[in-house]
Amino acid sequence: KMASHLQILGLETGLTGRQITLLLRTFKELSNKAGKDNRLTLEDMRALFKSIGVEDERLVKQFFAFFDKDHDGQVNFHEFVLAVSSLASGSSNEKIHFVFSVMDRNQDNRITQEDIKYVIKLLMKANDRHLGGIPFPPQYQDMTPESVRQFIANVVALEVFNRYGRGHDRFLSFEEFSDWAHSSSATEIG
């Protein structure tokens, strides 16, 4: 039965059997770590995010809602694979919409410089906790990690708004954000 379920997931997502098996192993580790048998709850997602230094409740709920496709308050393996697959192999526009919605903290369909700074610092902090961080260049050695994160977030936000803000510096529309995301500078800057 499990083999046929994995084959169906492969057909639905375009993932290989090996990729699905790896996702199954990851999902089982997460659900077992949470003390659940093959399901994850909002509380589990909260603990997972906290383990990488992210304690933003809105962000946790947003990710959980993205994974909980049937809105029953838990994520099963099928939902987990569908969500991971869409993040990994969805179209660039789908990914940009998702990232925009994550960055738009008050859900007003606009991203402020503060939104960009917040997400950049959050990602850098998670990287520090989860991966041990990236060594800072010598010119930043005398700064605290938080000061470096703040400095980099300020530079990135200012650069994005200067290039893509189209004459205003208060917010980016989805179209402006999409222009940045599609540009080569999005990977150069952040």
* Tens digit of each residue's pLDDT (9 = 90 or more) over 3-49: 787 888 888 888 888 888 888 888 888 888 777 778 899 998 898 88
Instruction: Please determine, for residue 129, whether its predicted confidence score (pLDDT) is greater than 70.
Output: no
- The rounded mean pLDDT for the chain is 82
- Is 60 exceeded by the pLDDT of residue 94? yes
Over 70: is that where the pLDDT of 134 sits? no
Percentage with pLDDT > 70 across the chain:
87
pLDDT at 53 over 60: yes
Residue of 179, 180, 183, 160 lying closest to 170 (CA atoms): 160
**Helix pair angle (113-131, 145-164), 10° resolution:** 140
Average pLDDT on 48-61 reads 82
Residue 131: the pLDDT is 47
Residue 174 in this model has a pLDDT that exceeds 70: yes
Percentage helix, strand, coil for the chain under 3-state DSSP, each rounded to 5 = 70, 5, 30
Place of tokens 């205003």: 168
Indicate whether 138 pLDDT > 70. Answer: yes
Residue 187, pLDDT > 60, answer: no
Contact of 87 with 79, CB cutoff 8 Å? no
In the predicted structure, residue 150 carries a pLDDT above the cut 80: yes
Give the per-residue pLDDT at 190: 43
Both tokens assigned to 174: 């989805």
**Predicted local distance difference test score (pLDDT) of residue 189:** 45
Confidence (pTM): 0.68
Task: Tell me the average pLDDT across 131-143.
Answer: 66
Task: Examine the pLDDT at 128 and tell me if it is beyond 80.
Answer: no
Q: What's the whole-number mean pLDDT along residues 114-137?
A: 73
